[in-house]
Amino acid sequence: MAREYFGTDGIRGTVGRTPITPDFVLRLAHAVGRVLRRTQQRPTVLIGKDTRISGYMLESALESGFNSAGVDVVLLGPLPTPGVAYLTRTQRASLGVVISASHNPYPDNGIKFFSAQGSKLPDSWEEEVERALKEEPVWADSAALGKTRRLDDAAGRYIEFCKSTFSHDLTLKGLKIVVDAAHGAAYQIAPKVFHELGAEVIAMGCAPDGLNINDGVGATHPEAMVLAVRANGADYGIALDGDADRLLVVDAKGRLYNGDELLYLLAADRLARGQTVQGVAGTLMTNLAVESALKAQGVGFVRAKVGDRYVLEELARNGWLLGGEGSGHLLALDCHTTGDGLISALQVLQACVRSGRTLAQWLEAVPLYPQVLINVRLAPRQDWKNNALLDQTLAAVQAELGDTGRVLIRPSGTEPLLRVMVEARDQQQASRCAQQLADAARAG
């Protein structure tokens, strides 16, 4: 079944345009509630959100939709996406709901869901919800309507959980850390986590006004954090995105480390501590250098489709614990059921503190191949799959690269874009080939 509303990570779009309108979101919650009621007598749903001004409106619509279907609601307020996943599991809730468009600017928003186990839900569940959306609503009678309450200490519970994943015999004392929360869901939580573990914290991106989420700060704009690390003589910089499920890290020299490098570090740290790492899951975008370095240490590697939910599926299929994306979505299933920027940061810092090695020293054996990514905006109904010129150009580029590089062309799961990526050992070659492919895609 082709999904009409669900994309790579829930339902996302511009506020005020279908499907991110209060009437549709109410219908969505009602449909989800009806799906839950098929197997549960009195379901309970947790709702968290980031700091977008539209979150208030969508929260109210979700609450009404769930209550109308006989589902109880617990409001968490602003909370990172992985925090909602954690509390869904520990509160024994039926479902977790996050109102967020992650790294997108404030005019966008979205709805995503977590299972009772705190993990992403499968495509089959989303398809069942879409079928329910096509059915006429069946309102619960007055005696069966859901009720709503607020969990006042949600942030505190999540802070303690994050801290519990950091070794009890280690501390961050003596470290100065810039913490950039992107004016997003972790704006109150992230500085407290690092401060309570002993670090001197310089907070930035922690003053949301409803309109400034991801605006020039956070993991999508790490250059601001790089400057802050240098200006303050900090040891590290930690950049999260708007819902705090992705991470980028800067060292004392202002060198930025992406998700591919941090994923390798997580695996290398576990190997250095004598743990067994059977395999790691990346994506179609993961840098070839990481795959080669892991395989050189006897660690298996598989590539999933882009999207942390697909990485999670590969981990489950293989029984592995570590996976991630270059964007900074990292999965350490020995710590949490989903990707968590704060917990990933603590795992990185823990490796450096315990070993006495810098990030540069951990990653000196993994010089990344240059990757060039060009986003090509598609015209309405443009059929890029049957573009003869693109096919010819692709064949020529692949012949030129041979086994020293690779090409990936894929549609975005959240925007009307075609993503063209070329990876090669030579930067100029990668740039030239990517531009040739992008030009061919536009011409078609």
β-pairing, 405-411 vs 148-150, is unpaired
Q: Are 152 and 137 in contact (CB under 8 A)?
A: no
Instruction: List helix spans (H) across 331-387.
Output: 341-355, 359-362
Backbone angles phi, psi at 193, to 5 degrees: -60, -50
Superfamily covering domain 257-362: Alpha-D-Glucose-1,6-Bisphosphate, subunit A, domain 3 (3.40.120.10)
Q: Are 205 and 187 in contact (CB under 8 A)?
A: yes
| CATH assignment of 371-443, among 3.30.70.580, 3.30.1230.10, 3.40.50.300, 3.30.310.50 | 3.30.310.50
What sign has the CA pseudo-torsion 112, 117, 120, 121?
A: negative
C-alpha 229/C-alpha 208 separation (Å) is 21
Of 390, 359, 356, the residue nearest 376 (C-alpha): 390
What pLDDT does 365 receive?
87
Active site residue 102: yes
Each domain of the chain, given as residue ranges in start order, spans 11-152, 157-254, 257-362, 371-443
* Nearest alpha carbon to residue 412 among 312, 327, 290: 327
> Of the CATH numbers 3.30.365.10, 1.25.10.10, 3.40.50.2020, 3.40.120.10, which one belongs to the domain with range 157-254?
3.40.120.10
Instruction: Verify cis geometry, omega within 30 degrees of 0, for the bond prior to 107.
Output: no
Query: Model pTM greater than 0.85?
Result: yes
Cβ neighbours of residue 81 under 8 Å, at least 6 residues apart?
48, 98, 100, 102, 112, 185, 243, 244, 245, 338
pLDDT score, position 307 = 85
Tell me if 31 sits within 8 A of 155, measured CB to CB.
no
Which ranges constitute the DSSP H helices of 281-330? 288-296, 308-318
Average pLDDT of each block of 10 consecutive residues along the chain (444 residues)?
Answer: 84 97 98 97 97 98 98 98 98 98 97 96 94 96 98 97 98 98 98 98 98 97 97 98 98 97 98 97 93 94 91 96 97 97 98 98 94 90 89 96 89 84 94 96 85
Check: CB of residue 182 under 8 Å from CB of residue 205.
yes
Spatial separation of the C-alpha atoms in residues 434 and 373, rounded to whole Å: 7
Return the amino acid letter for 376: V
- What is the structure's pLDDT at 8? 79
Beta strands in 207-274 (DSSP E): 236-240, 247-251, 256-257
**pLDDT score recorded for residue 264:** 98
The token duo for 196 is 């309570």
Q: What does the alpha-carbon distance between residue 301 and residue 303 come to, in Å, rounded to a whole number? A: 7
Catalytic residue among 64, 68, 100, 102: 102
Query: 157-254 with 371-443: one CATH topology?
Result: no
Domain 11-152 has CATH 3.40.50.720: no
